[in-house]
Amino acid sequence: MASTSRNATRALRTALRQLSQPRVQQRTFAVAANASRPSVQKLATSAFVQQTRGKKTVDFAGDKEVVYERDDWPRDKILDYFKNDTLALIGYGSQGHGQGLNLRDNGLNVIIGVRKDGASWKEAQQDGWVPGKNLFEVEEAIKKGSIVMNLLSDSAQSSTWDKIKPLLTKDKTLYFSHGFSAVFKDITKVEPPTDIDVILVAPKGSGRTVRTLFREGRGINSSFAVFQDVTGKAEEKAVALGVAIGSGYLYKTTFQKEVYSDLYGERGCLMGGIHGMFLAQYEVLRENGHSPSEAFNETVEEATQSLYPLIGQNGMDYMYAACSTTARRGAIDWSSRFKETLKPLFADLYKSVKDGKETERAMEYGGRPDYREAFEKEMEEIRGMEIWRAGKAVRSLRPENQ
C-alpha cells in the first residue's frame, strides 16, 4: 500500500513539474485577468454593491465587505510596483512552490531560501531554481531580500526566529501566509521588529491549487491582512503581492481572525470533522451487516462524486432540490439533530484554537525531528483502514478509471 501511494505521489510531482516547464510559463496576468471577467460580471448582477476600480463592496448575506480583485493590478503595474524589490521566499513546501513559481512566471525578482541539506533544496533545483543565482540558504536569502516571505512550516518559523529576527532590518517587509506565528507570539516567540511592515496573504487552498489555478488562467481566493503598517503602504503592498502570487479575489481580514478561522475550519468541516463523520457512518453500516462497497458508496463515493460538487456549484438548496422527495425529507429532518449534537463540539474546538492549545500541539508535533516519518506512519494507518481500502477498489471501478 505504502509504496503504491509513494509511487502515486512521485507521479503527481513529476506531472506537476512537467506542467511547470517554460512552455506555458508565459501565461500571466493578461490571460488571468481575462479569465476572471465572467465571474466579475456575475458578481455585478448579484451581490455587488459598489466599485472603485479593483475594489468592491460586496453584500455577503446582509454584511457588506470589501473585496479586492486583480483587475486593478495588471502585470505592468505589478512589475513597476516591485521594480526595486527582491522577494526572498523562505521555505519551499506546498506554498513556497506554488507562490514562488507564480511570482517567477509573472516576471518578479524572486529568490528562494531553504536549508541546504533538506528536501526542499532538491525540489527547488528540480523546479529550475539555481544555487547562487536565485536559490540560497535561508539567512543569505533574507539578507538579499527587501520583502521576506516566510513560508517555512509554522513550527520552523518559531524555531528559526532567533536567527531570522536580527536580519529583518528597517525598510524590509515581513510577509506570512498564516497569522499563526505572530498571533500566538506567547507560544511561538515570533515578535516582529516594530519598525517594519508585517502583512499576510493566505491562499484558501493548497499551494498546489495556487499553482494549477494560475496556470489555468484562474486565480485562487485569498485572505489578506496587515499586522503592522509602518510605511502607510502595507495594505496596498499586501494586495499587490496577493495578486502577484496568483490570487483572483482578496478578502480583507485580520491576522487573528485568519488564524482562528483557519485552524478551526481545517480541524472541523474541511478535514478532521468530515473524516470523523465518514468513519462513524461507515462503521455503523458495517456493524449492521452492510458490505464494504455498499458502506463506502453510501458514505463517501456518492458524497464526493455527486452531491458535494452540487453544493459547491449552487448551494445546499440546489443539492436538496436535485434529490428525491424521500431523501430531502429525511436529510432536512436529520440535519437539525446533527447540528444540535455537533455544535457543542465545534464550540469546544473554537475554544481550543483561541486559547492556544491547538497551536501548542502543532508546535510540539511539527517541531519533532522525526515529524515527517511520524506523519507518514499515521497516513499509512489511514490508508490501511477498511473504509479507505474499500474506497480504492470503488475508485478503480469508476468509468474513467476503466
Ligand X SMILES: NC(=O)c1ccc[n+]([C@@H]2O[C@H](COP(=O)([O-])OP(=O)(O)OC[C@H]3O[C@@H](n4cnc5c(N)ncnc54)[C@H](OP(=O)(O)O)[C@@H]3O)[C@@H](O)[C@H]2O)c1
The site for ligand X (CB under 6 A) is made up of: 91-96, 114-115, 118-120, 151-154, 156, 159-160, 177-178, 180, 202-203, 206-207
Grid coordinates representing 40?
Answer: 466579475
Q: For ligand X, which is the closer residue by CB, 89 or 387?
A: 89
Burial class (CB in 10 A: 0-12, 13-18, 19+), 320: middle
275 is catalytic: no
Q: For ligand X, which is the closer residue by CB, 154 or 358?
A: 154
For residue 298, say whether it is annotated as part of any ligand binding site: yes
State in angstroms the smallest separation of the CB of 202 from ligand X. 5
Q: For ligand X, which is the closer residue by CB, 51 or 221?
A: 221
Q: For ligand X, which is the closer residue by CB, 94 or 297?
A: 94
Ordered DSSP codes for 318-336: HHHHTS-HHHHHHHHHHHH
Query: How many angstroms separate the Cα of 210 from the Cα of each of 99, 150, 220, 384?
Result: 7, 17, 6, 30
State in angstroms the smallest separation of the CB of 369 from ligand X. 9
Q: For ligand X, which is the closer residue by CB, 160 or 247?
A: 160
Q: For ligand X, which is the closer residue by CB, 164 or 240?
A: 164
For residue 348, say whether it is annotated as part of any ligand binding site: no
State in angstroms the smallest separation of the CB of 50 from ligand X. 30
For residue 262, say whether it is annotated as part of any ligand binding site: yes
What are the backbone angles phi and psi of residue 224, rounded to the nearest 5°? -140, 155
Q: How far apart are CA 175 and CA 89, in angstroms?
A: 9
End-to-end CA distance of the chain: give it in Å, rounded. Answer: 20
Q: Starting at the edge strand that comes first in sequence, how are the strands of the sheet with 55-60 ordered? A: 48-52, 55-60, 63-69, 247-252, 220-228, 197-203, 173-176, 147-150, 87-90, 110-113, 135-136
Ordered DSSP codes for 24-86: GTT--HHHHHHHHHHHHHHHHHTTEEEEETTEEEEEETTEEEEEEEGGGS-HHHHHHHTTT--
Are 151 and 245 in contact, with CB atoms under 8 Å apart? no
State in angstroms the smallest separation of the CB of 207 from ligand X. 5
* In the complex, residue closest to ligand X by CB: 118
How many CA atoms are closer than 13 Å to the CA of 254, on its beta-carbon side? 4
For residue 235, say whether it is annotated as part of any ligand binding site: no
Residue given cell 539578507 in the structure block:
143
For residue 266, say whether it is annotated as part of any ligand binding site: yes
State in angstroms the smallest separation of the CB of 118 from ligand X. 2
- Choosing from 97, 178, 275, 290, the catalytic residue is 178
> Which H or E run includes 11?
helix 2-19
Are 218 and 36 in contact, with CB atoms under 8 Å apart? yes
State in angstroms the smallest separation of the CB of 327 from ligand X. 33
What residues contact 399, with CB distance under 8 A and at least 6 apart?
Answer: none
Binding-site members for substrate are 324
Binding-site members are 262, 266, 298, 302, 324
Catalytic residues: 178
